[in-house]
Homo-oligomer: A and B are copies of this chain.
Amino acid sequence: MSFYSKMSAAELERELLDLNQKYSKFKGMNLSLNMARGKPSPEQLELSADMLKNLEYSQLFRPESKINAGNYGELTGIFEAKKFFADILEVSPNLVIVGGNSSLNLMYNYVAMAMQFGILGNTPWNKLEKVKFLCPVPGYDRHFAICELFNIEMINIDMDESGPKMDRVKKIVESDPAVKGIWCVPKYSNPTGITYSDSVVRQFAALKPAAKDFRILWDNAYVVHHLSDKHDILLNIFDECKKNESEDMVIEFCSTSKITFAGGGISALAGSAANIDDITKIMSKQTIGYDKINQLRHCIFFPSVEKLRNHMSAHAKILKPKFDLVIENLEKQIKPLGIGDWTNPNGGYFISFNSLEGCGKRIYELCKGAGVVLTNIGATYPYGLDPKNKNIRIAPTFPSTDELKMAMDVFCLCVKIASVESLISKKKDTE
Contacts and interface: CB of A to CB of B under 8 A. Distances in A.
Nearest to A40: B71
A73 interface: yes
Interface centre among A115, A262, A263 (most CB of B within 10 A): A263
Contacts of A100: 100-101, 290-291
A262 B71 contact: yes
Interface stretch (A53-61, A131-139, A272-280, A402-410): A53-61
A70 B290 contact: no
Contacts of A40: 71
A288 interface: yes
A293 B263 contact: yes
Interface stretch (A102-110, A317-325, A370-378): A102-110
A37 B112 CA distance: 29
Contacts of A57: 45-46, 49, 52
Interface residues on A, range: 35 or more
Copies in the complex: 2
Given A289-B102, A291-B101, A294-B291, A69 B116 contact: no
A264 interface: yes
A311 interface: no
A105 B56 CA distance: 28
Contacts of A55: 52-53
A101 B262 contact: no
Contacts of A70: 45, 48, 261-264
A315 B31 CA distance: 53
A120 to B, nearest CB: 16
B149 A69 contact: no
Contact of A292 (B48, B263, B289): B263
A224 to B, nearest CB: 19
Most chain B beta carbons < 10 A, residue from A48, A61, A293: A293
Contact of A293 (B257, B261, B290): B261
A72 B263 contact: yes
A11 to B, nearest CB: 44
A290 B108 contact: no
Nearest to A50: B57
Contact of A282 (B56, B72, B149, B290): B149
11 contacts: A42-B61, A52-B57, A53-B56, A71-B262, A101-B287, A101-B290, A104-B286, A108-B285, A112-B116, A262-B288, A263-B293
Given A37-B72, A69-B263, 20 more contacts: A42-B61, A42-B71, A45-B70, A49-B57, A52-B293, A53-B53, A70-B263, A70-B264, A71-B262, A72-B262, A100-B291, A104-B286, A116-B150, A117-B149, A149-B282, A257-B288, A262-B288, A263-B289, A263-B293, A294-B294
